[in-house]
Structure 1
Amino acid sequence: MTSVRTEYTKRHDEALGPIANKLDEYLRSLLVDVERVDRISTRPKSIDRFVAKAEIMKDGKLKYDEPLHQIQDQIGARIITFYTSDVERIAEIVLKYFRPIESRNVVPQKEWEFGYFGKHHILLLPMDVVSEDVDDSMRPACFELQIKTLFQHAWSEANHDLGYKPGAEPLNPDENRQLAFTSAQAWGADRIFNELFEKRMQG
């Protein structure tokens, strides 16, 4: 994976960073007057995380034959909002300006399980956010946009930090149950806050 790391490091520094900055500015301009947007962040995928993803094996072989072309979240953007009802509202606004490749709601596989929740979109990268001095061969075709509530965002960040440390021991069953419990609490808090908000709006 030395060559992939070397190539991606060059792409990360020379292309993805500048593109992410311009994409961030563009998203902020689209949502400047939109209510209940807590934050917007855009950044390139870290070198270590990209290499780790490029090394994923499936059925005894690498999942990605050409990771520099196949991995779609080399640039990731996040929009964090207050309430669950805001997620779809903001998605509708954003999708007026981007061409989607894929859109999906990420939820646990079974209804009695708790884990990560979020709305993910793979969107074509508009040429408006690519400077002329960026080598076209290093420009990704698309980027990933995640739209989440504050609770979804906080849980996923803490969960990733606790559960995916490089070289760390896997979480034991009891620790996984503790994380599931915190996910259930975040899910419940989202639901209660959204219900209270909608009642206030109706009143």
Structure 2
Amino acid sequence: MTEKDVSLMMKQFHEKQPVLSDFAERLADLIHEVLAVRSLRVHSIVSRVKESTSLLGKISKGSGKYTDLEQITDLVGIRVITYYGDEVDVAANVLKEEFTIDHEKSVDKRGLLDSDRFGYLSLHYIIEMPEHRLRLTEYKKFRGIKAEIQIRSILQHTWAEIEHDLGYKSKQPIPSDMRRSFSRLAGVLEMADIEFGSIRDKLLQESMQMTVEAAPMKTMNVESLLKFVGTNAALKEMDLTIGRVVGTNVYFSDKYIAELMPLIRSAGMESLTEIEAALAGMRGVLHPFLERWYNKQQTENVSAGTALLFLCILHVVSEGTYDDLKHFLLEHRICRSHDINPVSKAIVQLYKELVLNH
């Protein structure tokens, strides 16, 4: 690449900087919104546009790799810092739903280190605005612009920042005794990430139990169930997710929701309070289950309350046995007898996979 080519790319970059800055700011706001809708509270979301000196260095070191500005995918960068390690994948799944991911250029750097190596790396996605957003007036000008999104927990971020600072201050290779110290620290931080998540889950479970025990039981009848399905934000969001996955609208059917009453009771829930507790207990599992399940299904209609049906099914899976699930599916005609074994197996297998990853 000639100096003239480099100069041209830098000129294009400077002309594009106002749009890139606007994109970075709007993208950060949008990510905050879509995570908030899923009730995922993160520590921080920071945006930046690549500095001119950094871009010039990248082009120069590329040895002709970059011949066009659009080939550089990190002109805009977003860093999402979660509170807990297990929320990195939760945030990543939300972003996969909301944006167009360049999987070829994205990388999960957490899996790049060998088990005997030290280091704490993050999940990197290269994304673009999806087509349905680009059709909106406020997003049209962002067509063709990509951004790099880094997702890491607070402790992963702490490690990365300190490691970067030490690497910056020391230009010499790290001695073996110091490498062992780094390895020990990496292990401590990894265990701390896991333990903080475990403490959070235990506190949440105890809080939910105390709430259920202290609060008056909310009676469940047809009228109260119709209102519950129509107003519960978590159920509405999951029903809309099913509709989006299968490509259809969600309709409200009093008859369908009323018919869920015996299923709910058969699953062991006698009140709206118990439904709320089950919803809270399935935090992080029910939503991805519905996405994965309906990604392989074809249906013309999705009724409000479909997510509640699957809550009942997964409640039976979590509280009962494999035979209990088969009996439940057959008794309520959710599944035909000749399909009962493969369907039950698929439900249990997907549920266990999501629980292990949660």
- Mapped to 2, the partners of 1:202 and 1:13 lie a distance apart of 48
Q: Structure 1 residues 110 and 27 mapped into 2: Cα distance closer, same or farther (>3 Å)?
A: same
Return closer, same or farther for 1:78/1:169 CA change in 2, 3 Å cut-off.
same
Residue 201 of structure 2 aligns to which amino acid in structure 1? E
Q: Secondary structure of the residue that 2:69 maps to in structure 1?
A: helix
**Cα RMSD between the aligned structures?**
3.0
- Output aligned runs, 1:41-80, within 5 Å: 41-56=46-61, 62=63, 64-66=65-67, 68-80=69-81
Rounded Cα–Cα distance in structure 2 between residues aligned with 1:172 and 1:97? 41
- CA deviation profile, 1:121-180 (whole Å, cap 9, x unmatched): 111145469767x6x8xx753111111100111221222233246xx6244325555544
Cα separation, 2, equivalents of 1:200 and 1:67? 52
Can you give the 5+ residue segments of structure 2 that lack an aligned partner in the other structure? 207-358
3-state secondary structure, aligned to 2:43 = strand
More helix by share: 2
Q: Matches of residues 39-118 of structure 1 in structure 2 within 5 Å? A: 39-56=44-61, 62=63, 64-66=65-67, 68-102=69-103, 103-107=106-110, 108-118=112-122
Contact 2:120–2:160, Cα closer than 8 Å, also in 1: yes
Whether 1:193 and 2:196 are equivalent positions in the alignment is yes
- AA aligned to 2:87 is D
Counterpart among 147, 156, 162 of residue 160 in structure 2: 156
Unaligned runs of 5+ in 1: none
Distance, in Å, in 2 between the alignment partners of 1:131 and 1:21 is: 12
Aligned residue pairs total 193
TM-score after normalising by structure 2:
0.47
1:3 aligns with 2:4: no
CA drift of 1:200 comes to: 3.1
Q: Distance in 1 between matches of 2:146 and 2:139?
A: 16
Cross-structure match for 1:172: 174
Q: Return the letter of the residue paired with 1:172.
A: I
Question: Separation in 2 of the partners of 1:5 and 1:170?
Answer: 34
Q: 1:90 to 1:131 in 2, by over 3 A?
A: closer
Contact kept in structure 2, 1:75 and 1:143, CA below 8 Å: yes
Instruction: Using the aligned pairs only, state the percent identity.
Output: 26
Indicate how the Cα distance of structure 1 residues 179 and 22 shifts in structure 2: closer, same or farther if over 3 A, else same. same
Which TM-score applies when normalising by structure 1?
A: 0.77
SS of the aligned residue for 2:118 comes to coil
1:14 corresponds to:
18
Structure 1 residue 190, shift from structure 2 partner: 0.9
The separation in 1 between residues aligned to 2:15 and 2:184, in whole angstroms, is: 39
Q: In proportion to residue count, which structure has more strand?
A: 1
Distance 2:153 2:146 in 1: 23
Structure 1 range deviating more: 65-74 or 2-11: 2-11
Alpha carbons of structure 1 residues 93 and 178: separation in structure 2 relative to 1, 3 Å: same
**Larger of the two Rg values belongs to structure:** 2
CA distance in 2, matches of 1:100, 1:169: 36
Q: For residues 53 and 45 of structure 2, what CA distance do their matches in structure 1 show?
A: 23
Paired residue secondary structure (2:36): coil
Helix, strand or coil for the counterpart of 1:55? helix
TM-superposed CA distance for 1:88, in Å, is 1.6
> SS of 2:22's equivalent?
helix
Residue 186 of structure 2: aligned partner: 183
